Structure 1
């Protein structure tokens, strides 16, 4: 690689760095994800997304106008072949507080899920329960997960196609019992940027295939669909994401969200002009003298 190419690559990486930090910073501000004196439990799985989230949070911690603590937590689910040394060594290299939490959810999943079936759903629920409990134990006020914009849009379509629900992943979520708050600092970040960032940072990635389960084929199909859309119409995935930030309940069909049953006509107020309201009646068998003259209303 010549010096010109090196300069170009350096420039692109600097742009990527700034873009990711700006996106994370904006998400934190928009949804008030992190507040003064928060203890943020950053959940690190060993994948590119959680590594990037931790890296960016630590960088923002140094420059943020508020004080907050970041504690890295990895849940060792006792999957066979899991390289237990990698994350402690990485956290030690960063000189940050961390916990490795042991919980054999692998055995539970293998016992409960039939061979060949996707284990991701049950595995996720077991993991969430353990992390919620541990957050209380260490006094964490926020639980940070590494889901990004693409994850959120994929989940939206998964729920529509396979669950008949208009539901995604919120940037910030309070648990049902009100005892924990989950945040997703990568909400505005694209997966393609995170892949490049992880390659540049050379994170010690641990693959998420150690459990031997099938891939979540439904999610993979959705991902492939969105990738194809992105190729044909750049910006479409971002537009879909923005749509869940700009919801009009009266234009949907949820009777619990909007009162469609009671929509009385009210013609007592001043009327706004309708666009293209003038019309000429060419034929009718109705006595037009019965009509109300709205021009004087």
Structure 2
């Protein structure tokens, strides 16, 4: 995928769901993975010509794993003209050594979000951007059905009342396959995830399940995404976006 196509998808999501206003300062969560680096690349270029003026801050919450070198990410931020902050934590030590969590993902996510929110507020940001993409949307809905028994998904825009900050997801129209292509085409400095449960989660199981169903039922992903947009999922069912 070329940059122009990425920007087109990103702008569509931002415009359709009114994600950005004049004067916004947006904290981008940078894990070092392909998704967050693609979001960084997209928003850093979009701000140059988007009609509403906004600024961005790149923030990495380091979980404390050894051998995770974020210096290439720092170099990319320098090249893109984006301020970059690393928040050092002991999350990995707390979860895997002290608490020895059998199912660590929920607690880990909560701790990372807390550290990210705190730093975003400290830097004066009024919005945060997560790199959830098209496939994440579908997988999250399927996980909700399988494990919670309800038809639900995160919203394109979410106001976090406790933190007084608004969360946006500008990559919701970008497919994971396109992100992989963008990563390769632009040599994004992906940092390998050292988490011991990476690839062995409920999300990974759901991803593989959808892949199998998609191969047996071509067009399944498009239908699932359409169901989310036209259903009663909070934040998605905007009447002006629905087919007439």
Same fold (TM over 0.5): yes
Quote the residue 1:113 is aligned against. 100
Q: Which residue does 1:98 correspond to in 2?
A: 84
Gaps of 5+ in 2: 234-244
Between 1 and 2, higher relative CO (CA 8 Å, sep ≥ 6) is seen in 2
Say if 1:20 and 1:230 are closer, same or farther in 2 by CA, change over 3 A: farther
User: Gaps (5+ residues) in structure 1?
Assistant: 1-12, 250-297
Distance 1:214 1:133 in 2: 25
Structure 2 residue matching 1:27: 3-state secondary structure: helix
Shift of 1:122: 1.5
Of 195, 201, 225, which aligns to 1:241?
225
Partner of 2:130: 145
Which has a greater percent of strand?
2
Tell whether 2:117 aligns with 1:132: yes
Q: How far apart are residue 200 of structure 1 and its match?
A: 0.5
DSSP-derived class of the 1:244 partner = helix
Match of 1:23 in 2: 9
CA distance in 1, matches of 2:175, 2:121: 31
Counterpart for residue 56 of structure 1: 42
Asked whether the 8 Å contact 1:120–1:216 carries over to 2, the reply is: no
TM-score by length of 2: 0.88
The answer to whether the aligner puts 1:76 opposite 2:69 as a matched pair is: no
CA contact (8 A) 2:28 2:129 kept: yes
Cα distance change of structure 1 residues 214 and 76 upon mapping to structure 2, 3 Å threshold? closer
Runs of 4+ in 1 over 6 A off after TM superposition: none
- Residue 230 of structure 1, CA deviation: 2.8
Return the match for 1:165 from 150, 154, 164: 150
Name the SS of the counterpart of 1:74 in structure 2.
strand
Matching residue of 1:295: none
Q: Kindly indicate whether residue 111 of structure 2 is the aligned counterpart of residue 89 of structure 1.
A: no
Change (3 A) 1:197 1:223: same
1:67 matched to 2:79? The reply is no
Q: Distance in 1 between matches of 2:215 and 2:195?
A: 32
Shift of 1:214: 5.3
The match for 1:189 among 165, 174, 179 is 174
The alignment's C-alpha RMSD in Å is 1.8
Secondary structure, counterpart of 1:147 in structure 2: coil
